[in-house]
Amino acid sequence: MLTRFANPARFMRVSGVVLPWLGGACAGVLGLGLCWSLFIAPPDYQQGESVRIMFIHVPAAMMAQGVYYLIAAASFVALVWRHPLADIAGAAAAPIGAGFTLVCLATGSLWGRPMWGAWWVWDARLTSVLVLFFLYLGYIALVNAFDDPSRGARAGALLALVGIVDLPIIKFSVNWWNTLHQPASILRVGGPSIDISLLLPLFVMAVGFLLLFLWLLILRMRTALNERKARALSLYGQPAPQGEDSDAALPAVRQVWR
Amino acid sequence: MTPLLGLFWCDLRLSLRQGGDIGLVLGFFVLAVLMFPFGVGPEPELLGRIAAGIIWVAALLASVMSLDRLFATDYADGGLDLIALSSSPLELVVLAKGAAHWVTTGLPLTLISPVLAIFVDLDPSAIPVLTFGLLIGTPALSLLGAIAGALTLGARRPGILVSLLVLPLYLPVLIFGTGAVEASLAAEGARAHLLLLGAVTLAALPLAPLAAAAALRQALD
């Protein structure tokens, strides 16, 4: 399956067909999830209406973590098998993951204010997500720091692998640090085990966020591939050939991708 | 083995002869620590409470400042290409250069930390724990910094990029180092923290050269 989509042109063709359907599915599921979670799901007996922030916060947190694992997997594939699309996928996914992390932090902060009375607490989980955010930012900065985009993508791949190895160590040390500096009041995040009437819309929102991520990822990958083509065109300065008879042109510039 | 030792001594001699390097790192470290009493006030109780954190954070920042001279000068003048072409494995080259970096950065920081601890009113009973923690933690800083230094070769603005990349990686070292001092002040024993700190350094010892050598190969392609 991986080698099937190693050809950028085939990826562009298949993704061009899939993208509108994916976008429609994403809009549908997100719309359903938002209506269900904002209007139909019952308010929590303890937290009242502000529990509804959870329906954005938790899926965003799940995506923030999952996207980092995805970037690490894509980086592994890029470095070991030199898959041509893997490092593009990683570089394309990073800003989306950083966005999810930011949404998670911001919604958590907005949720925390009515719940705990504080905009921010140095809880182990919050601190880990903050560090994850900076890992994302470092990755994005590294990938964009080079004039040659493929050099940047490869360096970023290596950084993502270093990050994924270090992530359990960082989480462990943050947990350690937190247990030593335990605040006076124990904060209970999420309350008791979640009822099915809240779990189902949460699941729908999670699926919707996943579809949103996939749609954005494919869109960004297509853009990145088109950017590479435009770069190649400007570097080699050749006009688009007319028909199939000019074999002096590079294969990459043979057709215009929509 | 001899070429690697030669590389180590060569790097060491270069940074010692250029004179400024160790002095600059130490100067930054001392200044950064001395800024804090001006910032938070001179009360001994407050300063003593945050002293370990101040010294460790300043040590991290001073390490980060000096990372760009690890590979960048050799990369710029072509020496890194020659080193890569030699028969020594690139991973051991990273270890040799990292060791030289530690001797000129981490070791001086460790040696001057007891003096600085007095300035920030750290409880004298905790100074040995602080110094020992820095001794076993600063090699990890040099090794992890080598990864970041190698990754950013050829980048625009490598200096500030290195700090963005490496500070999340430094967090465990910071947490265990300061935790050790606080544990010893609370009479709980710093053994667990120091063991974990040593574990981070020992884990970085084989793994960081692997990553840094891969990054060097990418840069030299």
pLDDT tens, chain A, 258 aa long: 567 777 888 888 999 999 999 999 999 999 999 888 888 877 777 777 777 888 899 999 999 999 999 999 999 999 998 888 898 899 999 999 999 999 999 998 888 888 778 888 888 888 889 999 999 999 999 999 998 888 899 999 999 999 999 888 888 888 888 877 765 444 445 555 667 778 888 889 999 999 999 999 999 999 999 988 898 888 887 665 555 444 444 455 445 554
* Rounded Cα gap, residues A181 and A186, in angstroms: 12
Instruction: Establish, for the pair of chains A and B, how many residue pairs have beta carbons separated by less than 8 Å.
Output: 79
Nearest-angstrom CA–CA distance, A230 and A247: 19
Buried b (16+ CB within 10 A) or exposed e, B130-163: bbbbbbbbbbbbbbbbbbbbbbbbbbeebeebbb
pTM of the model: 0.87
Chain A contact for B152 (CB, 8 A cutoff): yes
Question: Could you tell me if B162 and B152 are in contact, meaning their C-beta atoms sit under 8 angstroms apart?
Answer: yes
**B200 exposure class (CB count in 10 Å sphere: 0-12, 13-18, 19+):** buried
Give B40-55 pLDDT, tens digit per residue. Answer: 988 888 999 899 999 9
- Tell if the CB–CB gap between B155 and A159 is shorter than 8 Å: no
Nearest-by-Cβ selection for B151 from A159, A173, A177: A159
Q: Residue A182: phi, psi to the nearest 5?
A: -60, 125
Average pLDDT over residues B1-19: 85
The distance from CA A162 to its chain's CA centroid, rounded to whole angstroms, is 18
Among the partner-chain residues B169, B176, B218, the one whose CB lies closest to the CB of A155 is B218
Cβ A173–B214 below 8 Å, yes or no? no
Q: Do A162 and B214 touch (CB under 8 A)?
A: no
Report the pLDDT value the prediction gives residue A238, as an integer from 0 to 100.
61
- Touching check for A127 and chain B: CB below 8 Å? no
Bridge partners (DSSP) of residue A48 are: A44
- Amino acid identity of residue A229, one-letter, is K
Please tell me what DSSP assigns to residue B188.
S
Alpha carbons B83 and B71: distance in angstroms, whole number: 11
A28, amino acid identity = G
Q: Are B69 and B98 in contact (CB under 8 A)?
A: no
Which of B156, B183, B211 lies at the smallest CB-CB distance from A162?
B211
Cβ-nearest to B165 among A142, A154, A165: A142
Residues of B in contact with A137 (CB under 8 A): 164
Q: Helix (H) and strand (E) counts for chain B?
A: 10, 0
For residue B80, give Cα distances in angstroms to A50, B21, B70, B73, B220: 58, 20, 11, 9, 8
Written in H, E and C, the secondary structure of chain A is CCCHHHCHHHHHHHHHHHHHHHHHHHHHHHHHHHHHHHHHCCCECCCEHHHHHHHHHHHHHHHHHHHHHHHHHHHHHHHHHCCCCHHHHHHHHHHHHHHHHHHHHHHHHHHHHHHHCCCCCCCHHHHHHHHHHHHHHHHHHHHCCCCCHHHHHHHHHHHHHHHHHHHHHHHHHHHHHHHHCCCCCCCCCCCCCCCHHHHHHHHHHHHHHHHHHHHHHHHHHHHHHHHHHHHHHHHHCCCCCCCCCCCCCCHHHCCCCC
Give me the percent of chain B exceeding a pLDDT of 70. 100
Q: Measuring CA to CA, which residue among A63, A212, A59 is closest to residue A132? A: A63
Min distance A96 CA to chain B CA atoms (Å): 19
For chain B, the domains span: 2-220
Q: Which of A162, A31, A242 is nearest to B165 (CA)?
A: A162
pLDDT digits (tens, 9 = 90+) for B69-113: 789 888 988 889 998 988 889 999 999 999 999 999 999 999 999
- Put simply, the chain A residues between 149 and 168 with a CB less than 8 A from any chain B CB are 151, 154-155, 158-159, 161-163, 165-166
CB distance A51 to A43 below 8 Å: yes
The minimum CA-CA distance between A94 and chain B, rounded to whole Å, is: 15
